[in-house]
Structure 1
Amino acid sequence: MPKRVCLLSLLVLLAVAPAAAAAGRCGDVATRPWCDTKLDADVRAGLLLGALTRDERISLLAGDELTGVAGREGTHTGTSNGVERVGLPPIYFSDGPVGTRQGKATGMPSPMTVASTFDPALAARHAAVVGDEVRRKGNDVVFAPAVNMMRTPLNGRTFEYFGEDPFLAARIAVGWTKGVQDQGVIANVKHYAVNNQEGQGTEAPGAPIGAGVVGSRVTTDARLDERTLREIYLPQFEAAVKEGGAGSVMCAYNRVNGQYACENQHLLEDVLKRDWAFRGFVLTDYGAGKNTVASLNNGLDLDIYPGIIYRPQLVSAALATSQVSDATIDEHVRRILRTLFAFGFFDREAYPDNTASIDQAGHDAVAADIQQEGTVLLENDGAILPLDAGKTAKLALIGPEADRIKDGGGSSAIDEFKVTTPKGAIETRLGAGKVVFDDGSNAARAAAVAKAADVAIVVVGDRMTEGKDKECLGINCSQNDDIDRDGLIDAVAAAQPRTVVVLQTGGPILTPWRDKVRGLVETWYPGQNGGTAIARVLFGDAEPAGRLPATFPLREADEPVAGDPEKYPGVAETVRYKEGVHIGYRWFDERKLGVAYPFGFGLGYTTFRVSGLQLEAGRGSTDAVASVVVENTGKRAGSAAPQLYVGMPERAGLDQPPLQLKGIGRERLAPGERKRVRFALDERAFSHWDQRADGWRVTTGCYRIVVGQHSRDAAVEGVIGRGAECGGALALPRDARACTSRRAFTIRLPRAYRSARVTVGGKRVRVVRRRGRLTARVDLRGARAQRVTVRAVGRTRAKRAVRQTRIYRTCAKKRPR
């Protein structure tokens, strides 16, 4: 073929060949190969990393702007300027857990409200509003969710977290993380880890946060064993990373077992990046970075604010003195770049900062919907609620929080678009002429107002803020006024027998007057449209569908950390977690302490019955499936929230709480409707952290399965044996590695059986009575499957049907050498 024809053919082929794909603002693939969207995030990050100079790489390790933290319109909580030469745009960061703190925004209900829904889907809906506004304000990363455990309700940021149980917090964290990232922004799960107190101190008037002095979050060293760390304080972070796909993690201020969290090799390198295979990046809480070399070598990727420890001069000095390698710098930058590529940051246009584009009315409505779903009814004597508007001629509305909405300080202090208070919503619902308001500053005057009305609603709240813990659990503690709220409730209740108290609190409080009032409603910090939700619940336009994510104690002295300064607030800045895995309801149950209201508790305007527990073997990664029938036994529709708890076997050196939450459900049922609710239990649900083995392990023994409507409601119970015969409906191998080398053996059926039919792998076998017990011969020698199911169906002496399932896993035959 002539050379001219060959050349022409080549030019034609090049003309029609598909070009490398590029999108968004990244640039031309020909000059910027990392812009090729056909490549995966790792390859693209490597290509861009290779194009950066050493100084440019170092510049990406620290934040670049200091004033946005004030939260003004048109600014950002954090900024990384990027590298213009290679087309790396600025990255913008925003608070936070209840909304973007950047000028006007929708103030969403507190995370405690979200946890009270016991519903990951509602958590995702909450996050979707936050994520949408974070994006429409021009941000790429949101500093949320906050998932630390409520070790003590004195913690000044209790309102910002998901309660006292790691399983519940993990489920809510996964829903929230997915919901916010579905909006095109990157979640930043915080504060990693064991950041469970702010410190005892002061709060200056007008200051954005408090100042903890004794036991300050900035200086404390949380000392705890590995089992407590893994079982209580890390599962919610693990779930947000592994299941929720969180793109970034914020390290905390405090030390953990001697090392600051932002330079803690065990937390950042061993656990987060190795054990959990986290591929995103780690950034500091604001000012949490302490040491340049230790942070670089131990896993901190980005010092976002104020960028001091990773300022170029210090990083360059660490490189020049060989205290840090270029490979270490590259790894930090690679993680940041890879995350940005994975989340499409380069392949879209920059998000414009356009507050006007926010659906204010729609988000306000969602805020009210979520709040009513998380409102918890604690008392309803004589069915005083819901109120009948047609029969209420005069309502006394009393209290310092009746005409305001409480919120927490710090990263959750939102400048709301609008606020609907309880007073405004109740007057709208009932008619302003039927509502008499008193601010509660004078208890005698308020009592007189209440006495002259048909019913009294007392609205009171506590005060919480970032940076400082509450002084005590009484509602009067840490207030910035002189109103005696406990005394106000006592006076009103004495004057008006039909008194309902509405709480706006960040967490559990003491309720010494609870037996004196007819109704008690907990709304937490209810968000900008909390008044609408409160009015709907009080008048029955909506049900109070929430359940407590934290225990309300009878006395502050009963709390896990009470009375021991080494536990809290710490001695010489060292806080010792002596209670181990026993926090929250686990502590109260272990010590058989009475409580005011148990974890998981919540009344409604209908009633439910839980019955018909079934335990079945699972498939795949599910070890077992527990199911119950939930029935609405009342006269109106409502939301049931059945909860499954596991009581694990103890052995020498292994102390277990009586029960641990391992399953949550939420079903809306019409009157008389029944539905079977299923809980999937994987191996982790039966596991504890074995410190000697440095891993999760299942103990051989009998596992108590309890399903009810709160932590102290054992409506139905069963037993699952793990590597043991426990006489229950289900027996499983100890764990995924356990197998039986015995190819033929005899099993004994539970003593309750008087007759039975037994099948092995679907084939019926003979049942024989020996020494008063029914027995059956199990022969696995011909079994082809590695997993063999043995089923026994029988009847008791009372003719009651009983069933038992046993799962055996046969060991693989050893090959001859």
Structure 2
Amino acid sequence: MSEIVDHATPHTYRPRGRRRLAVLVAGTAAALAAALMSPSSATQPAAGPDDQPWTNASLSPDARAAALLEEMTLEEKVELTTGDQGEAPSAFYNAPIERLGIPELRMADAGGGIAARGWTLPDTGETATAFPAGAALGATWNPRLARRYARAVAVEAKATGHAMLLGPGSDMGRQPFWGRIAEGMSEDPFLTSELTTPYVDAVQDESVIANLKHYAGYTQEVDRGNAQDSIIDPRALREVYTAPYADAIAKADLGSVMCSFNEVNSVFACENDLLLDTILREELGFTGFVITDFGAIHSTEPSIEAGTDMETGTDAFYGDALLAAVQDGRVPESLVDRSVLRILRTMFAIGVFEGDYTMTSIPVTEHGRLARRVEDQAITLLKNDGVLPLRRRVRSAVVIGADADVTGRLGGSFAVKPTYEVSLLDAMRDVGRRTGMRVRYAAGNDMVNGTSMIETADMTAVPSTVLSPEGGAGDGLTARHYGNTTFSGDPVTRTEAQVLYDTGFTAGVPAFANLYSSQVPPVPDVGGTGVAAGQSVAYTGTLTAPATGDYRLGLTGWGDATATLDGEEIIDMTGGPGRQAVEATVSLQRGESYDLRIEYAATQPLVALQPGSLLLQWSPPRRAVSPAIAEAVRQARRSDVAVVYARTYESEERDRVSLKLPQSADRLISAVAAVNPRTVVVLSSGGPVTMPWRGQVEAVVQSYPGGQEEGSSLARVLTGAVNPSGRLPMTYPVSEQQLPPGIENPWDNIGDTTVEFSEGVNIGYRGYIASRTRMLYPFGFGLSYTRFSYRGLRTSTLRAEGRRESTTVRVRVRNTGRRTGAEVVQLYAGPLPGLDAPARKLVGFAKVTLRPGRAAWVRIPVSRRSLSYWDDASSSWVTPRGRVRLLVGSSARDIELAGAITVR
């Protein structure tokens, strides 16, 4: 086996012959004449009909767009800038303009695969390959693999009839509570750029327009629809939040950008002239088109003036409103022409007019293997005291966790209905069949869901196994759902495992029921009223105490709720707006059953997309163990190894209230580890979690939301068939209180829509290092089943001016262990000379695979841009001269070698 080095940069991107649009609106006749005189059109014979020159594929995209614009009526131009609603197959869709041969523009909600939105394939229905989440791709630190991943997603986009991909996500993982943190690649702008750029390039090579999102400074869900205002200084805006766009434009000719929900410096992103005109088009040279996120547009004139070219998802401000604004003289038609040219030119350049988007079958097996390969390289070993890999002497193992028989996936627009799934339990049982190892299973807790995101830090959902419905048979409570907020009329009655009432976007009900399948039955639509209109529910049954002592019982959510125990009201959560958390302490006796009644009315929506939510949670005495945990402990005591699978739940529209594991997982892990020291914890979380049990277990494995082959990859890593090579794309804090300056839980400030990005360019690990805040696990961290040594750091001079854009740093890496493995060699720059700069920032990396005892010189290019900074005084990028300290290591904290590079 030869040694393999995957360099991070520079990439070689294949040109597609696309030219930048030089003349946009200086009179369409002039634009047409200029375009037709371009070299690509002057040297090619006309091939299209005389009355439709834009159908001639030999002409330049500029010429074709200008020719087509000449023939469009004002109404048709406005139609092209406005997404179709009503009868459209999905929210992001533009119908064809058949008179002119303009094809439909169907846009796929995507990133980790194609979401089910009104399409059905002959063999696989509305299922597609569910790839690992963006954070998992980030954890691979492998740009070449990102290209393969993206190509497969693009192939499935075409197969499902889409000419445009609403992805990838390039948002920075600024704060760990964010519900969409796993959709982006990382907390670092350099790593994110190195992965999103080949992703964009590969997608557009398949004649699918890539739409990089969300532009810009979008880092939380709390108040996202309430004019949340990201206050970002000019330098951080360019060095951090628009950096991935810069590379994707320069190296991959990015076709489209989605403007985000939030304001940036008090101006909505979709009407922000600084973002869209000054930075995106003037500074970065973007020639594609800008679309809105669903409901992110708030105006007509300011939006089209700033450079938003297409309203998608809604038709409130373009469509008839834009048409009237042009007819009234409030908007010059030349601005509409400018947007139309951008849209058409991109469609021509990427091949949409000639592309074949006929729905067809997808390569299920091939893409499933690729999903597994990505997850193989993403899984990150955080701790290993020797229990892994599992040896042949392991005769029995117990897999624990209610979610161990499903795979980790995200909710919201990132959700995909998979073609098939291999859970950890499935894969471990297969290992058992092949090796003779006995594999047991115990649920231990309850499955996570959207309501899990609102568990508070000091409490957790009351488990189903301490609850009994009316009549006493089984677990859970009797739930009566009413089609009003007064508990009147005929209810829908059923047994539900826990008090987990949730409606709206995160629950997938009602309008978003097709987004993803919830493990909790959705709230019923009683009498056709629609749950968003306001319903109520009464839960009745008993609670049986597993131990004697004081219990803190609590209700949290929004709306009005009460709790009574043995006929006495103990909690009153009524009258307050926003999210509430009300609790009471009660003394209970072991084995005693208490009548429980919870009444809830969804009277006070948090926001329009979250009309109602309620969770019954508790903090029991330390010795109180639910029957489910007790059974897991029993099985763990009988087994050589215990593998506990713990998930979080993440989705757009909601941030996590706490960084702890939900559904009693922390208590479950501690109880299992107390009886079986050989406990392995698998974390299928999109972002960081706290680990109060870390010192009790022998191994911790991070799998991220790993897609439909997550279980296969986990089994391969746990048994040693795959040597883990994933590295963290984000920093894990020690606790929720130990975060770097400027980072706060957005729930703590709900209603205060101003969010100060006071850390500036010190995002993520940079902020931890600058403030000397302790990290649980640093950015870039990950263990292996082998070991590596570093020596011989060699650098050369980089010139601040001139034609040479980069230099190369070399380091000798040796595999000193007994297993073939891959190391991610990370190169960090110290402070730039004479400048207030990050104490440490990533400027290069390479992933090298080495056999035992073998060594290789790893070459890491360092670009001039990575050592430059934005100077607001001169409105330009500046490369300072002098010596810049370089640090080489296996994470942002674990540095092996130090040196310097001279910039002249």
- TM-score above 0.5, yes or no: yes
* Offset at residue 516 of structure 1 (A): 1.1
Deviations 1:64-95 (A, max 9, x none): 13466xxxxxx445221132111112111111
* Matches of 1:304 and 1:415, distance apart in 2: 23
1:77 touches 1:95 (CA, 8 Å); kept in 2?
Answer: no
Q: What secondary structure is seen at the aligned counterpart in 2 of 1:506?
A: coil
1:674 is the counterpart of 2:855: yes
* Matches of 2:797 and 2:902, distance apart in 1: 11
1:326 is the counterpart of 2:333: yes
Match of 1:436 among 427, 437, 440: 440
Q: What secondary structure is seen at the aligned counterpart in 1 of 2:700?
A: strand
Deviations 1:267-314 (A, max 9, x none): 111111111111111001011111011111110001021122111x21
One-letter amino acid of the structure 1 residue matched with residue 649 of structure 2: R
Greater shift, 333-342 or 593-602, is seen at: 593-602
- After superposition, the CA RMSD in angstroms is 1.9
1:302 is the counterpart of 2:296: no
1:353 is the counterpart of 2:359: yes
Structure 2's unaligned 5+ residue stretches are 1-42, 117-125, 446-627
One-letter amino acid of the structure 2 residue matched with residue 359 of structure 1: P
- What is residue 767 of structure 1 aligned with on the other side? none
Deviations 1:522-572 (A, max 9, x none): 000000111111111111111211000101111111223678679974663
1:21-170 aligned at under 5 Å gives the runs 21-22=46-47, 28-66=48-86, 75-102=89-116, 103-170=126-193
* Matches of 1:577 and 1:378, distance apart in 2: 29
Match of 1:638 among 809, 816, 821: 821
* Matches of 1:657 and 1:573, distance apart in 2: 28
- What is residue 235 of structure 2 aligned with on the other side? 227
Deviations 1:73-121 (A, max 9, x none): xx44522113211111211111111111122111110010000011111
Match of 2:838 among 650, 657, 662: 657
TM-score (norm 2): 0.72
1:197 touches 1:217 (CA, 8 Å); kept in 2?
Answer: no
1:751-770 aligned at under 5 Å gives the runs none
* Offset at residue 630 of structure 1 (A): 1.2
Q: Which has the larger radius of gyration?
A: 1
1:624 is the counterpart of 2:834: no
Q: What secondary structure is seen at the aligned counterpart in 2 of 1:468?
A: coil
1:456 touches 1:498 (CA, 8 Å); kept in 2?
Answer: yes
1:471 is the counterpart of 2:657: yes
TM-score (norm 1): 0.79
1:121 touches 1:175 (CA, 8 Å); kept in 2?
Answer: yes
1:195 touches 1:217 (CA, 8 Å); kept in 2?
Answer: no
One-letter amino acid of the structure 1 residue matched with residue 653 of structure 2: G
* Matches of 2:744 and 2:76, distance apart in 1: 50
* Offset at residue 701 of structure 1 (A): 3.7
**Matched residue count:** 666
One-letter amino acid of the structure 2 residue matched with residue 56 of structure 1: E
- What is residue 608 of structure 1 aligned with on the other side? 788
One-letter amino acid of the structure 2 residue matched with residue 590 of structure 1: A
Deviations 1:589-625 (A, max 9, x none): 1111221111101011111111110012358433432
- What is residue 338 of structure 1 aligned with on the other side? 345
2:273 touches 2:306 (CA, 8 Å); kept in 1?
Answer: yes
1:460 is the counterpart of 2:460: no
* Matches of 1:67 and 1:612, distance apart in 2: 64
1:560 touches 1:587 (CA, 8 Å); kept in 2?
Answer: yes
- What is residue 781 of structure 1 aligned with on the other side? none
* Matches of 1:567 and 1:435, distance apart in 2: 41
Deviations 1:607-664 (A, max 9, x none): 111111001235843343211011111111111110000012364xx43221000001
Deviations 1:15-42 (A, max 9, x none): xxx99454xxxxx422211122221111
1:34 touches 1:44 (CA, 8 Å); kept in 2?
Answer: yes
1:556 touches 1:562 (CA, 8 Å); kept in 2?
Answer: no
Structure 1 pair 530/21, CA: closer, same or farther in 2 (3 Å)?
A: farther
1:551 is the counterpart of 2:734: no
Q: What secondary structure is seen at the aligned counterpart in 1 of 2:317?
A: coil
1:379 is the counterpart of 2:383: yes
1:696 is the counterpart of 2:877: yes
Q: What secondary structure is seen at the aligned counterpart in 2 of 1:159?
A: coil
- What is residue 721 of structure 1 aligned with on the other side? 902
Match of 2:265 among 246, 257, 262: 257
2:657 touches 2:745 (CA, 8 Å); kept in 1?
Answer: no
1:398 is the counterpart of 2:412: no
* Matches of 1:48 and 1:512, distance apart in 2: 63
One-letter amino acid of the structure 1 residue matched with residue 380 of structure 2: V
* Offset at residue 321 of structure 1 (A): 3.0
1:405-420 aligned at under 5 Å gives the runs 405-420=407-422
2:798 touches 2:901 (CA, 8 Å); kept in 1?
Answer: no
1:267-282 aligned at under 5 Å gives the runs 267-282=275-290
One-letter amino acid of the structure 1 residue matched with residue 178 of structure 2: N
1:173 is the counterpart of 2:196: yes
Q: What secondary structure is seen at the aligned counterpart in 2 of 1:644?
A: strand
* Matches of 2:658 and 2:883, distance apart in 1: 40
2:807 touches 2:861 (CA, 8 Å); kept in 1?
Answer: yes
1:510 touches 1:553 (CA, 8 Å); kept in 2?
Answer: yes
* Matches of 1:129 and 1:563, distance apart in 2: 36
1:469-508 aligned at under 5 Å gives the runs 469-476=655-662, 483-508=663-688
Q: What secondary structure is seen at the aligned counterpart in 2 of 1:415?
A: coil
1:244 is the counterpart of 2:256: no
Structure 1 pair 436/67, CA: closer, same or farther in 2 (3 Å)?
A: farther
1:174-189 aligned at under 5 Å gives the runs 174-189=197-212
One-letter amino acid of the structure 1 residue matched with residue 863 of structure 2: D
* Matches of 1:623 and 1:369, distance apart in 2: 31
- What is residue 362 of structure 1 aligned with on the other side? 366
Structure 1 pair 133/569, CA: closer, same or farther in 2 (3 Å)?
A: farther
1:705 is the counterpart of 2:886: yes
Q: What secondary structure is seen at the aligned counterpart in 1 of 2:404?
A: coil
* Matches of 1:438 and 1:560, distance apart in 2: 38
One-letter amino acid of the structure 1 residue matched with residue 271 of structure 2: E
* Offset at residue 317 of structure 1 (A): 2.0
Deviations 1:438-464 (A, max 9, x none): 001322221121011111101001111
Greater shift, 512-521 or 565-574, is seen at: 565-574
- What is residue 807 of structure 1 aligned with on the other side? none
Deviations 1:174-226 (A, max 9, x none): 12112222222110000000010001xxxxxxxxxxxxxxx335520111110
- What is residue 768 of structure 1 aligned with on the other side? none
Q: Equivalent pairs: percent with the same residue? A: 35
Q: What secondary structure is seen at the aligned counterpart in 2 of 1:417?
A: coil
Deviations 1:737-782 (A, max 9, x none): xxxxxxxxxxxxxxxxxxxxxxxxxxxxxxxxxxxxxxxxxxxxxx
* Matches of 1:674 and 1:112, distance apart in 2: 30
Q: What secondary structure is seen at the aligned counterpart in 2 of 1:395?
A: strand
Structure 1 pair 595/365, CA: closer, same or farther in 2 (3 Å)?
A: same
* Matches of 2:853 and 2:878, distance apart in 1: 42
Kindly indicate whether structure 1 or structure 2 has the higher relative contact order, using CA contacts under 8 Å at least 6 residues apart.
2
- What is residue 864 of structure 2 aligned with on the other side? 683
2:91 touches 2:314 (CA, 8 Å); kept in 1?
Answer: no
* Matches of 1:440 and 1:567, distance apart in 2: 29
* Matches of 1:217 and 1:145, distance apart in 2: 22
Q: What secondary structure is seen at the aligned counterpart in 1 of 2:884?
A: strand
* Offset at residue 58 of structure 1 (A): 1.3
